Amino acid sequence: MSATQTDHRSDATGPLVAVTGGAGFIGSHTVDRLIEAGCRVIVLDDFSTGKRENLATWAGDERVEILTVNIADGIFAALAPVTARMGPISRIIHLAAQTAVIHSIANPLDDVRVNYAGTVQVLEYARASGVDKVVFASSAAVYGDVTESPVGENAPKKPVSPYGIDKLGSENFLYYYSTVHRVAATALRFFNVYGPRQDPKSPYSGVISIFADRAMAETPLTIFGDGEQTRDFVYVGDVSRIVVDACLSDAGDREAVNVGTGKETTINELARTVIELCGANSTITHAEARPGEILRSLAAVDRADTIFNFRAQVPLAEGLRATLDWARGWPGLNKTA
């Protein structure tokens, strides 16, 4: 190996962090950032939506261990041989979930099994194994029909889907494990996350990856309703930054923290920007509004700033450009921001 090549095997001594859902969209960016921060990582993923190619950078690297596990079945048995070799896990980032709200409505028991009981499986491991801290991927879905905008963390929680109910229930379990069992825990409520590696082919995908896919194919972009509904779109590089900071810091125990930009974008604006950035001739069509769709979603972002000194940095146009470059298969992207 020449002096300029990176030796992936030379520094296998940092803190050991388990990342459930680490092969997924947000998870794989989180793994990249943890390794950059000097950690070793165990990925637990059932590959239901996650992909090995998302972790291809770390193939054969002894700092990253990848386990195929369904968290709903418990994680003790899968981790035992690995921790015997790598040592005890110091922190857990729990991202694994059934992420489709529509699926949770059609299959509430499935959602409870993975997104609620699965969280308790992870917390039980943390308690029994003396893990120092758990960071959990919660969601703006815990607020449900929001009555205030921007929505602060103390706003009423009225989730309108099993997905939102199970995220909120998981937050309650985090609080319980922290107060009763002294497992420090932070819930991060993600708003609309976008960026490279988000799967545009999934029917449950984020609107940005779907719009990008359509615009690049020069096919029409369909907006449900009048398009004046707003979302707080936050780039995955910003999200992975606060996830890793929350994991490695001792701040934020028993806190739930919004992760957004504090800026709202209408779906009409988004569609126009995507078409423009693609240089596409796609048209915009409007379909009937989806019943129950939330009209405004905007995060209050002060708590993230106060606790983790976090402000989202990537402007929408820049994040969209990186996402589109990735979708076109262009190299040399700023993928983690």
Ligand X SMILES: NC(=O)c1ccc[n+]([C@@H]2O[C@H](COP(=O)([O-])OP(=O)(O)OC[C@H]3O[C@@H](n4cnc5c(N)ncnc54)[C@H](O)[C@@H]3O)[C@@H](O)[C@H]2O)c1
Binding stretches for ligand X (CB under 6 A):
20-21, 23-27, 45-50, 69-72, 95-99, 114, 118, 137, 139, 190, 192-193, 206
CB of 118 or CB of 150, closer to ligand X: 118
Cα Rg for the chain, rounded, in angstroms? 20
Q: What is the Cα 182 distance to its own chain's centre? A: 25
Per the CB < 8 A criterion, the answer to whether 93 and 18 are in contact is: yes
Min CB(319)–ligand X separation in Å? 13
Nearest residue (CB) to ligand X, 18 versus 26 = 26
Residue with Cβ nearer ligand X (240 or 282): 240
Nearest to ligand X of 94, 214 (CB atom): 94
Q: What share of the chain is helix, strand, coil (3-state, %, to 5)?
A: 40, 20, 40
Residue 321: both structure tokens together: 């450009």
- Kindly give the pairing relationship between strand 40-45 and strand 64-68: parallel
CB-wise, 66 or 282, nearer to ligand X?
66
- Residue 314 CB, shortest distance to ligand X, in Å, is 15
163 is catalytic: yes
Q: How many angstroms separate the CA atoms of 218 and 279, rounded?
A: 9
Kindly state the smallest distance separating residue 85's Cβ from ligand X, in Å. 21
CB of 135 to ligand X, least distance (A): 11
Q: For residues 43 and 21, give the distance between their C-alpha atoms in angstroms, rounded to a whole number.
A: 7
Which position among 163, 177, 194, 235 bears the catalytic label? 163
CB of 98 to ligand X, least distance (A): 6
**SS3 at position 36:** helix
Where do we find the tokens 């050991």? Answer: 16
CA distance 69 to 74: 8
Q: CB neighbours of 191 closer than 8 A, spacing ≥ 6? A: 140, 231, 232, 233, 234, 258, 259, 260, 261, 297, 299
First to last CA, the chain: 29
CB of 50 to ligand X, least distance (A): 2
Comparing CA positions, the residue from 45, 56, 1 lying closest to residue 23 is 45
Tokens read off for 130:
């003396």
Q: Which is nearer to ligand X, 114 or 146 (CB)?
A: 114
Which residues participate in catalysis according to the annotation? 163
